């Protein structure tokens, strides 16, 4: 898929039906979850993923204060995107509950409340800096988003392969379909924005090289990100899958290649 304008990308995204509809969710065999073993080492990973999905709401609110978030096309995408990410968090939480891992009734507000002050201050600072740079920063925002969505998608794929839990796989495949649509949106808009100016390209490359961190790190304690990455991506297969995916996706975004 190659788009000429952001409007075309948005139109494409809006034509995609939601995968995780009420019907899809009601057909998941929730009652069978307990019938299959779940390796304990994946529980912290699932909790991490649940929390990161939920925290997109914090990121969304911050982004709305920037020129990127005020862009009518991007803000329209983000309205639906943030709802979809919340569903992902809710489904992962429900899976954990059905698997016998109880969570607090107010887990969502606890997750948001547990974000460190340091992270909030940094985020505010970035927002202020972003406002100074203005629209030129949009390409970087979109490129960061694309990388986050791609690595999240690959993380879910790895979890399907490693956990081998049939009901979890069914849920994750639904989530992966929505994450793939998010990747297409971010990557396509990043490409369009990057083509607009050489300054944007240089800025994006510099910021990604020096400031990109895995999704959730900063908001979540470092050891939790480390544990999730090590569990999902250690070993040849874990890393080579990630590398293959980035190569494939970035071939469609040549302005980001070093
Ligand atoms: Fe998600
Ligand atoms: Fe996503």
Task: Note the ligand closest to the C-alpha atom of 51.
Answer: 1
Confidence of residue 242 (pLDDT cuts 50, 70, 90): confident
In the structure encoding, which two tokens stand for residue 159, read together?
Answer: 């979890």
Q: Which ligand is nearest to the CA of 81?
A: 2
Contact 182, 146 (CB under 8 A): no
Question: Nearest 5°: phi and psi at 237?
Answer: -65, -40
Q: What integer is the mean pLDDT of 230-239?
A: 85
Can you read off the two tokens belonging to residue 105?
Answer: 């009734």
What does pLDDT average to over the chain? 88
Is residue 227 packed enough to be buried (19+ CB in 10 Å), middle (13-18) or exposed (0-12)?
middle
Could you give the number of structural domains in the chain?
1
Residue 1: inside a domain, yes or no? no
- The confidence score (pLDDT) of residue 215 equals 75
What is the C-alpha separation between 233 and 225, in angstroms, rounded? 12
Residue matched to tokens 């991007």: 74
- Residue 32, domain member (yes or no): yes
In a domain, 236, yes or no: yes
pLDDT in tens, 84-124: 999 999 999 999 999 999 999 999 999 988 876 666 656 66
Ligand 1 centroid–CA 150 distance in Å is 10
Could you give the CA distance from residue 124 to residue 63 in angstroms, rounded to a whole number?
10
pLDDT digits (tens, 9 = 90+) for 129-161: 666 566 667 888 898 899 999 999 999 999 999
In a domain, 112, yes or no: yes
Determine the distance separating the centroid of ligand 1 and the alpha carbon of 72, expressed in angstroms.
22
What separation in Å is there between the alpha carbon of 198 and the centre of ligand 1?
A: 31
Q: Is residue 63 part of a domain?
A: yes
Residue 152, domain CATH:
1.10.620.20
Residues with CB under 5 A from ligand 1 (ion): 53, 85, 88
Identify the nearest ligand to the CA of 91 by its number: 1
State yes or no: pLDDT of 26 exceeds 90. yes
The pLDDT, as a whole number, for residue 257 is: 61
pLDDT at 138: 85
Distances (CA, A) of 69 to 27, 76, 122, 135: 35, 9, 18, 10
Ligand closest to Cα of 53 equals: 1
* Residue 240 Cα to ligand 2 middle (Å): 22
Q: Examine the pLDDT at 127 and tell me if it is beyond 80.
A: no
The CA 35 to ligand 2 mean position distance, Å, reads 29
Q: Over 80: is that where the pLDDT of 73 sits?
A: yes
pTM: 0.89
Least confident range of 39-43, 46-50, 88-92, 193-197: 193-197
Q: Print the domain residue range for 95.
A: 6-256
Distance 170 CA to ligand 1 centre (A): 15
pLDDT of residue 119: 63
Closest CA to 258 of 205, 207, 214: 205
């Amino acid at each position: 898929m190659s788009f000429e304008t952001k409007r075309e990308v948005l139109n494409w995204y809006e034509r995609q039906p939601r995968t995780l509809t009420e019907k899809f969710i009601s057909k998941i065999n929730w009652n069978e979850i307990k019938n299959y073993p779940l390796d304990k080492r994946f529980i912290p990973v699932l909790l991490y993923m649940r929390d990161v999905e939920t925290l997109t709401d914090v990121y969304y609110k911050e982004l709305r204060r920037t020129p990127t978030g005020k862009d009518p096309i991007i803000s329209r995408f983000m309205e639906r995107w943030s709802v979809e990410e919340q569903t992902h968090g809710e489904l992962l939480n429900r899976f954990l509950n059905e698997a016998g891992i109880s969570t607090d009734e107010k887990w969502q507000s606890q997750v948001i409340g547990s974000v460190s002050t340091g992270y909030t201050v940094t985020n505010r600072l970035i927002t202020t800096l972003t406002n100074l740079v203005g629209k030129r920063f949009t390409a970087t925002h979109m490129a960061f988003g694309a990388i986050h969505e791609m690595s999240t998608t690959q993380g879910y794929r790895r979890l399907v392969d490693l956990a081998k839990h049939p009901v979890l796989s069914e849920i994750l495949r639904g989530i992966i379909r929505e994450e793939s649509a998010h990747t297409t949106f971010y990557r396509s808009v990043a490409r369009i924005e990057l083509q607009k100016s050489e300054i944007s390209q240089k800025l994006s490359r510099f910021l990604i090289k020096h400031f990109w961190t895995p999704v959730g790190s900063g908001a979540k304690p470092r050891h939790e990100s480390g544990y999730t990455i090590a569990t999902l991506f250690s070993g040849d297969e874990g890393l080579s899958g990630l590398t293959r995916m980035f190569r494939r996706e970035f071939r469609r975004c040549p302005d980001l290649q070093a």
